[in-house]
Amino acid sequence: MDKKQFTFGKENFILLAVSLFVIIIGFVLLSGGKTTEETGFDPSIFNARRLFVAPVIIVIGFGSVIYAILKKPKE
């Protein structure tokens, strides 16, 4: 019986799942808490986590998705 040839191997699917998890973590870091004051200014929107750390994690996640897609499965 012929074994079906899939485009992605098991390793590709694992890398893809981990990459999507990293992207989700990045978006969670990007989101912030709600403000208790409706008219007040919340300076926490300019902290380093939202401006630098979260976007870098998201870009790393998208880069690893591209890597997971382009990686050739082992024969």
Please give the model's pTM, rounded to 2 decimal places.
Answer: 0.80
What pLDDT, on a 0 to 100 scale, did the predictor assign at position 46?
81
Interval 19-61: pLDDT, tens = 999 999 999 998 876 666 666 777 777 888 888 999 999 999 9
Residue 68 has pLDDT above 80, yes or no: yes
What pLDDT, on a 0 to 100 scale, did the predictor assign at position 9?
86
Alpha helices in 1-75 (DSSP H): 10-30, 48, 54-70
For residue 26, give the nearest of 58, 1, 2, 56 by alpha carbon.
58
What pLDDT, on a 0 to 100 scale, did the predictor assign at position 39?
65
What pLDDT, on a 0 to 100 scale, did the predictor assign at position 6?
75
Please tell me the distance from the alpha carbon of residue 24 to that of residue 2, in angstroms, as a whole number. 38
Calculate helix-pair angle for 54-70, 10-30, nearest 10 degrees.
Answer: 160
